Amino acid sequence: MTHQDWNWTIGEVVAPFGRSGEVKVRMETDFPERFWHLSQVCLRGASGEARLFRVEGVRLHKGQALLKLEGVDSISDAEALRQMRVQIRRQDAIALEENEFYIHDLIGCAVETPEGTQLGLLTGVLRGGAHDVYVIGEGRDEILLPAIREVVRHVDITAKRIVVTPTPGLLPGEAEVIL
């Protein structure tokens, strides 16, 4: 198994914690409970260097995970891991319910209307209070669509295709609908 298999980011080491080598991890997941089931993680730095670690312990502290990793036994050991991404293998990701998708899988999907009009590639997802917002394209051509059932009609991750029915006035060049 190579380090390339470990590319699903679930957090980032933000600091050492205590004197025994624990690291404090800012969780980047909608499933914080996943940390309690970790047996191994990959820590990857900004330049791509990666190291596999066996997880000896996990606990929660003020909304962050504290990980005790095998071979990390001092503050200086833990400090050397600061800002490294905590990653797992894709196959270890939590299975989602029907019509739920990981943002990572949505990015790069072609977005089109039911009539086949190409709107562009999904370039981002804005996390919001009531619902997420899909970002299609970039810059002046950027389109923002609410990720709601009335707009997002079909998502095919395998084909990298999303079919949407935008509300009138949401697409560039359309007149706004005044109620």
Please state the rounded mean pLDDT for residues 99-124: 91
Least-confidence region, from 2-11, 118-127, 132-141: 2-11
Query: Could you give the residue ranges of the DSSP H alpha helices within 17-176?
Result: 75-79, 103-106
Highest mean pLDDT, choosing among 28-37, 95-104, 113-122, 139-148: 113-122
What whole-number distance in Å separates Cα of residue 45 and Cα of residue 7? 12
What whole-number distance in Å separates Cα of residue 54 and Cα of residue 11? 16
pLDDT score, position 2: 59
pLDDT score, position 99: 82
User: Is residue 158 scored above 60 in pLDDT?
Assistant: yes
For the stretch 51-67, pLDDT in tens is: 999 999 999 999 899 99
With contact defined as beta carbons under 8 Å apart, do 87 and 8 qualify?
yes
Distance between start and end Cα atoms, the chain: 58
What are the Cα distances from residue 166, in Å, to 4, 108, 127, 134?
38, 19, 19, 11
Q: Is 137 left (phi over 0), alpha (psi -120 to 50) or beta?
A: left
pLDDT score, position 90: 83
User: Is residue 1 scored above 90 in pLDDT?
Assistant: no
Q: Which residues of 47-79 are buried (b: 16+ CB within 10 A; e: fewer)?
A: eeebeebebeebeeeeebbbbbbeebeebeebe
Domains and CATH numbers, the chain: 3-92 (2.40.30.60), 103-164 (2.30.30.240)
Q: Which residue has the higher pLDDT, 57 or 99?
A: 57
Q: How confident is the model at residue 176 (pLDDT cuts 50, 70, 90)?
A: low
Mean pLDDT of the chain: 89
Q: How confident is the model at residue 104 (pLDDT cuts 50, 70, 90)?
A: confident
